[in-house]
Chains A and B, each alone.
Chain A
Amino acid sequence: MRRIYILALILILASLLFFTFYDLIQPKEFIDDKAQISEYYIEHGVKETGAINLVTAILFDYRAFDTLGEATVIFIAVSAISLLATKERVLVSDTNFSPIVYQGISFIIPFLYILAFYLIFYGHLSPGGGFTGGVVIATTFVLLKMTFGIRYSKEEKSLQRRSLIESIGALGFILVGILGIIMGDNFLANEGAGFHLGIAGQLLSAGVIPILNLFTGVKVGSGLAIIFHRLVREE
């Protein structure tokens, strides 16, 4: 009986998904009201924010408050998991991999770090951004701990340092937002708060967006690493 309910639910959701993509494949005429806002972003986005990646321009300038909310969701998840999974002892994984795995992971970790920092620092120029780069940073922690065992890094000190780094990320994001208020504009204002936009397309441009990217990446990366660390502990 339960399976029939699940089947009906799946059919409804699948038909929703199908019709969404069906409209995308054969686009109908857009209603004018819907087309106006996207055309505004396409026309004025680069001029107003200085970021040539319009998705990042919307995420970290026009809708930066939503991004703050997304980062707060990760903070809440970290708090809840730290509350639920507080075990003292740590299970040392006894799994022995073949030397190929150890050497391969050691070889690939620096490249993953380069990818993560590229995604964070070039977030306003190319696809990517702070959120994605932060998750890649957390993935390196997961790979290291899965391969070399939990005791590879010093336990409590690194955890405290990581939660400190996460708090610095969250506080930095909010402080940049409050700076906009102090300079006489909205919360998280970019150009209106007097930040120099620079030439669009250069690395140091787009005013406050790279700083927000960096804070978001640091916060998401350390937060997910803390979640993994808490989950992997065992009595």
Chain B
Amino acid sequence: MIQLIIYLLLFFIILTAFFAVFANSLISSLIALSILSSNLVILFVILQAPDVALAEVVIASGITTGFFIITIDKTGGRR
């Protein structure tokens, strides 16, 4: 059962990574990156690494997304 969950999470991570690279607008690829790191957080919790999970949830899906949104907005990459 837990193996099935891990395989599903890994598959979804690869899927969101593909979407992040091939998406048309930068904002959608940014949201895909955020979803990727959320999946990674669940994977870290399952693999019993709460420290890494905390760092990932705060840095990758939290503050990095905010910084990227501001940067994309300022450089005019929003299409």
A142-B70 Cα distance, complex, nearest whole Å: 11
Cβ contacts under 8 Å, A114 to chain B:
none
Closest Cβ neighbor of B62 among chain A residues = A139
Q: Are B6 and A10 in contact (CB under 8 A)?
A: no
User: DSSP majority for the A interface?
Assistant: helix
Q: Are B17 and A14 in contact (CB under 8 A)?
A: yes
Q: Are B63 and A138 in contact (CB under 8 A)?
A: yes
Cβ contacts under 8 Å, A6 to chain B:
21
Give how many A residues have a beta carbon under 8 Å from the other chain's beta carbons. 30
Q: Are A10 and B18 in contact (CB under 8 A)?
A: yes
Q: Are B47 and A119 in contact (CB under 8 A)?
A: no
Q: Are A135 and B59 in contact (CB under 8 A)?
A: yes
User: DSSP majority for the B interface?
Assistant: helix
Of A10, A24, A132, which contacts B54 at CB under 8 A? A132
Give how many B residues have a beta carbon under 8 Å from the other chain's beta carbons. 25
A56-B71 Cα distance, complex, nearest whole Å: 33
Of B10, B18, B22, B51, which contacts A21 at CB under 8 A? B10
CB of A169 within 8 Å of the partner chain: no
B17 to chain A, nearest CB (A): 7
Q: Are A18 and B62 in contact (CB under 8 A)?
A: no
Of B6, B47, B63, B74, which contacts A224 at CB under 8 A? B63
Q: Are A231 and B63 in contact (CB under 8 A)?
A: no
CB of A25 within 8 Å of the partner chain: yes
Cβ contacts under 8 Å, B6 to chain A:
21, 25
Cβ contacts under 8 Å, B70 to chain A:
228, 231-232
A139-B63 in contact given A21-B10, A25-B6, A132-B55 (Cβ < 8 Å) = yes
A interface list, Cβ under 8 A from B: 3, 6, 10, 14, 17-18, 21, 24-25, 53, 55-56, 119, 127-129, 131-132, 135-136, 138-139, 142, 146, 224, 227-228, 231-232, 234
